[in-house]
Amino acid sequence: MFGMAFLMPAFLAGLVAAALPVLLHLLKRDAAARRNFSAVFLIKRTPVEQTGQRRLRELILLALRVTALALLALAFARPYLTGVVAGTGGGLTVVAIDRSFSMSGPGQFDRARELASDAVRAVRLGERVAVVVFDETAVLLSEPSPERQQALAAIEGLSVGWRATRYRVGLGRAAEVIGAQTGRIVVVTDLQRSGWVAGGQGVVPDRIAVEVTAVESPVGNLAVTAVKSGALDTRASILNGGATARLATLRLLVDGAEVDRTMVTVPAGVSSEVVFPVVLPQHGEASVVVEDGEGYEADDARHLLLVPQEALKVVLVTSSGDSSTEAFYLDQALRVAGAVNQFEIVQTAAVRLSLTLAQVDASPPAVLLLTSRGLDRRGLAALEAHTRAGGGVLIVAGPDMEPVTLSGLGGVGKSVPVNDVERPMDQRLVPADGRHPIFKALGQRLGNLAQVRYGRIRVLDAGQDGRVLARFSDGGAALVEYGLKSGRLLVFGSDLDDAWNDFPRHPMFVPFVHEMLKYLSGNRREQREWLVGDGPAASVSLPGFTALADSQRVAINVDRAESDPARMSVEEFGARVAQLRGAVNAATPEASDDQERGQGYWRYGLGLMALALAAESLLGSRMD
């Protein structure tokens, strides 16, 4: 229904003020006095307007004044239109169709289309309807229109996608389409529980009703959720999302050809690991496929691109060149077997640094400078050339680092202002910018860095060029990155070998060191696996193998979380939808803009009031 409501209805009391001019007019209105006068002929010569004309103009003036006051009160009351925009009549129904791959069960999406079409047909005549489809993204498929055929045609041409369910995204887009009006959202979905990510919830204004039309989920679903190539075999994880145990047949394909086949019974609701006694080649494309006639098609295969792992070369600079004794913990951290990141350690003494760097024929390695003892001018020049060539340097300002030497580290193009002030304090490390690649890669484990106790630290002066990536708990810089034209230079303000802190004995030590060295290496190791629609594969809509724009081949898989068909009830779904009074989903700035536009009629009110006052002034001045 079309209507108008007010955000601040109390200001409507100001409409009483609009009666003031009328009241004054009535109070001051009286019959013309009759008076005998001698010089009437002089009055008659006066070019006064006729009484009728004057009365008309006075009435117009009165109307303008009343209008101005009424508009002022209305503007303060912040009017907005409820229902649909004027002239179109009726409310707005948005049919939001879940097209995530959890809707790809046998006959599932056909049923979804039927229910969506029914929802469109059920819209009352004169009301408008729009169609939104959503998975991890949401698209307005059919603009709001009273024409149902348009919406029905859009639904007819719809097909299921390969991405995961995100109810919040779908509801947000639907609420955005409704904007500041009233309406309802009909969600056609399989009510998959994983559609609410990490306890998230959708927010829609309370003037928008949310209805759910549920589509049945498949009885069971088998999904290959992971494939891992080992030195002795190949392993795959298979999930049974059904309520009963399933006997699954799995095939291992390499470059499209089946190389192994196995059968396994997977208990209900759990994942099982399947081992193929096959060593995969270093190059190629491997896939594990499960035969599943009941569940979703998209997760029946998992793809793995076979590429040789290229180890990152790291030059460990110590006094003697024996990192196994002088930098035991670092050495061990870089030699972790089976780690995602593989490092090739090049040990060198500081005095031989220039020679070592000259001998490294690979791309510029990361240099881990643990000492300044023996670092001569040639070594500094080699470091400068190294950074100029795009290499990275991590200076660990521990006990073996001489501050004076560091201050003269002009070889890297910067004078690193590390002094010899040491503070024997119980310090903690806190990342200053969690979005930095080093910390971002640590993910939710980032907070664990604060568990490390630093007994001694080095005071670092970031200066104007330095960017503090992490600080100690007293506010001092802990990890500083200095801006260079090429290459990267990091300075860590403490020790990394269990001398000044207990960091090497914490679980975060290895990933932290690895991420720092990866960053110094310029993240040359490319990711070869992506989810559908993510990262550089955003334009890829099908799982499998594909070549990116730079001709690099990658494996595209579906989100494994979507493979779990666990459902929730309509009530549970409704409980996740927070309906806020007067709120428009704030998820998108466009929604806020729509809300602002929908409530922006007060501007027109003030504009009209200004016009009325201007007209009143003009008319009034002509009457004087």
Partner 1 sequence: MPMGGTGGELRFLDPAVIARIGSMELKARTVVEGFLAGLHRSPFKGFSVEFAEYRQYVPGDDLSTIDWKVYARSDRYYVKKFDEETNVECHVLLDVSGSMGYGSASVTKLAYGSFLAASLAYLMHRQRDAVGFMAFDDDIVTHLAASARPGHLRSVLLALDQVSLGRRSNVAKPLHQLADALTKRGIVVLLSDLLDEPDRIIQGLKHLRFRGADVVVFHLLDDDELSFPFERLTRFCDLETTDEVMAAPLEVRNHYLREIGSLVSRYKRELRLVGIDYQLVKTSKPLDFALMRYLSTRSRRH
Please spell the DSSP secondary structure of 454-502, one letter per residue.
EEEEEEE--TTTEEEEEEETTS-EEEEEE--SSSEEEEESS-SSSSSBS
* Region of 338 on the Ramachandran plot (φ > 0 left; ψ -120 to 50 alpha; else beta): left
CB of 49 to partner 1, least distance (A): 8
Q: How many residues sit close enough to partner 1 to count as binding (CB under 8 A)?
A: 21
Residues 6+ apart with CB under 8 A from 584: 175, 176, 179, 180, 205, 591, 592, 594, 595
Q: Which two tokens stand for residue 6?
A: 């007010």
**621 lies in the binding site for partner 1 (CB under 8 A):** no
Distance in angstroms (rounded) separating the CA atoms of residues 411 and 269: 60
CB of 623 to partner 1, least distance (A): 8
> Which position has the token pair 């907070």?
447
**43 lies in the binding site for partner 1 (CB under 8 A):** yes
**34 lies in the binding site for partner 1 (CB under 8 A):** yes
Binding residue (CB under 8 A) for partner 1 from 27, 35, 125, 325: 35
**24 lies in the binding site for partner 1 (CB under 8 A):** no
Binding residue (CB under 8 A) for partner 1 from 8, 19, 40, 139: 40
Give the range of 35-43, 195-203, 233-241, 526-534 binding partner 1 by CB under 8 A: 35-43
Do residues 170 and 540 touch, judged by C-beta distance below 8 A? no
- CA 140, 145, 149, 152: dihedral to nearest 10 degrees? 30
CB of 89 to partner 1, least distance (A): 50
Closest C-alpha among 176, 187, 112 to residue 140: 176
**51 lies in the binding site for partner 1 (CB under 8 A):** yes
Binding residue (CB under 8 A) for partner 1 from 8, 16, 22, 54: 54
Binding residue (CB under 8 A) for partner 1 from 9, 13, 24, 37: 37
**44 lies in the binding site for partner 1 (CB under 8 A):** yes
CB of 622 to partner 1, least distance (A): 11
Residues 6+ apart with CB under 8 A from 91: 1, 83, 84, 127, 128, 181, 182, 183, 184
Give the range of 29-37, 93-101, 134-142, 564-572 binding partner 1 by CB under 8 A: 29-37
Distance in angstroms (rounded) separating the CA atoms of residues 95 and 260: 46
**444 lies in the binding site for partner 1 (CB under 8 A):** no
CB of 58 to partner 1, least distance (A): 10
**47 lies in the binding site for partner 1 (CB under 8 A):** yes
**485 lies in the binding site for partner 1 (CB under 8 A):** no
Give the range of 39-47, 393-401, 514-522, 612-620 binding partner 1 by CB under 8 A: 39-47
Give the H or E element holding residue 598. Answer: helix 589-598
Do residues 137 and 533 touch, judged by C-beta distance below 8 A? yes
SS (H, E, C) 438-453: HHHCCHHHHHHHHHCC
**325 lies in the binding site for partner 1 (CB under 8 A):** no
Q: Which is nearer to partner 1, 46 or 444 (CB)?
A: 46
**41 lies in the binding site for partner 1 (CB under 8 A):** yes
Do residues 562 and 239 touch, judged by C-beta distance below 8 A? no
Do residues 383 and 412 touch, judged by C-beta distance below 8 A? yes
Question: 215 by DSSP, 3-state: which?
Answer: coil
Give the range of 42-50, 61-69, 109-117, 401-409 binding partner 1 by CB under 8 A: 42-50
Binding residue (CB under 8 A) for partner 1 from 42, 86, 125, 337: 42
**622 lies in the binding site for partner 1 (CB under 8 A):** no
CB of 27 to partner 1, least distance (A): 14
Do residues 288 and 224 touch, judged by C-beta distance below 8 A? yes
CB of 583 to partner 1, least distance (A): 56
Phi, psi of 479 (to 5 degrees): -135, 120
CB of 38 to partner 1, least distance (A): 4
CB of 59 to partner 1, least distance (A): 15
Give the H or E element holding residue 74. Answer: helix 51-76
CB of 182 to partner 1, least distance (A): 52
Question: 562 by DSSP, 3-state: which?
Answer: helix
For residue 51, the Cα-to-chain-centroid distance in whole angstroms is 71
Residue 519 has, within 13 A of its CA and on its CB side, a CA count of 20
Q: Which is nearer to partner 1, 48 or 139 (CB)?
A: 48
| Helices within 93-242 (DSSP H only) | 108-121, 148-156, 167-178
Give the Å distances, CA to CA, from 295 to 44, 98, 318, 541: 100, 17, 58, 20
**550 lies in the binding site for partner 1 (CB under 8 A):** no
**39 lies in the binding site for partner 1 (CB under 8 A):** yes
**435 lies in the binding site for partner 1 (CB under 8 A):** no
Distance in angstroms (rounded) separating the CA atoms of residues 175 and 209: 10
Binding residue (CB under 8 A) for partner 1 from 46, 159, 325, 444: 46
CB of 54 to partner 1, least distance (A): 7
Do residues 107 and 293 touch, judged by C-beta distance below 8 A? no
- Interactions with partner 1, residue window 394-413 (CB under 8 A): none
Binding residue (CB under 8 A) for partner 1 from 36, 159, 444, 464: 36
Q: Which is nearer to partner 1, 30 or 550 (CB)?
A: 30
Give the range of 27-35, 69-77, 229-237, 451-459 binding partner 1 by CB under 8 A: 27-35
Give the range of 28-36, 293-301, 350-358, 524-532 binding partner 1 by CB under 8 A: 28-36
Give the range of 31-39, 67-75, 283-291, 489-497 binding partner 1 by CB under 8 A: 31-39
**27 lies in the binding site for partner 1 (CB under 8 A):** no
Q: Which spans of this chain sit near partner 1 (rule: CB under 8 A)?
A: 30, 32-48, 51, 54, 623
